[in-house]
Amino acid sequence: MSNSHHHVPAKNAGPEPSNAADQSIDTEELLALLGDEYTRKILSTVGEESLPAREIANRSEISRATVYRRINRLEDVGVVEEVMSIHPEGQHRREFRIAHDRIELSLVDREVSDQADLDSSQNNSVSNQITHTLQ
């Protein structure tokens, strides 16, 4: 946490992750998202930070509308979560961060299983691994 601001989960950020064994997502949707160049660029840009959509758009050179569309889909599958950033001057703004440091896909009978398990640790190295794996 930075000295300049404080993060709290946003009210509409969805349920808190419990543990990796309890969390799973739609593998088909996850793979579709990770197969998208813009999604990978957004995940790489966010990395280990919490960033507002405007900053993600500026750093990744992707339109803000595209950033919001991808972030919404990433939130829906639980890869990205919204946090509220509270600055010393009292300003509040929505920021986004990677919710899990690891995503595991299990292969069963030479096909991707129906669900992907999520590790809810806050290490966030997943963005670099995803980017390198899928490029």
With a cut of 70, say whether residue 130 has pLDDT above it: no
Classify domain 26-99+124-134 by CATH number: 1.10.10.10
Prediction pTM value: 0.63
* Phi-psi group of 111: left, alpha or beta (phi > 0 → left; psi -120 to 50 → alpha; rest → beta): beta
With a cut of 60, say whether residue 12 has pLDDT above it: no
The pLDDT score that the predictor gives to residue 103 is: 76
Query: pLDDT band at 111, cuts 50/70/90?
Result: low
Contact assessment for residue 100 and residue 78, using Cβ atoms and an 8 Å cutoff: yes
**Between 135 and 39, the higher pLDDT residue:** 39
The pLDDT score that the predictor gives to residue 86 is: 85
Average of pLDDT values for 98-117?
A: 67
Residue 123: Cβ-neighbour burial (10 angstroms; 0-12, 13-18, 19+): exposed
Question: Residues 58-82: pLDDT tens digits?
Answer: 999 999 999 999 999 999 999 999 9
With a cut of 50, say whether residue 24 has pLDDT above it: yes
The pLDDT score that the predictor gives to residue 115 is: 52
* Neighbour order of strands in the sheet with 80-86: 6-9, 80-86, 92-98
Return the DSSP state at 128.
H
Q: Both tokens of residue 81?
A: 């979560």
Q: How far apart are CA 132 and CA 108, in angstroms?
A: 24
With a cut of 90, say whether residue 54 has pLDDT above it: yes
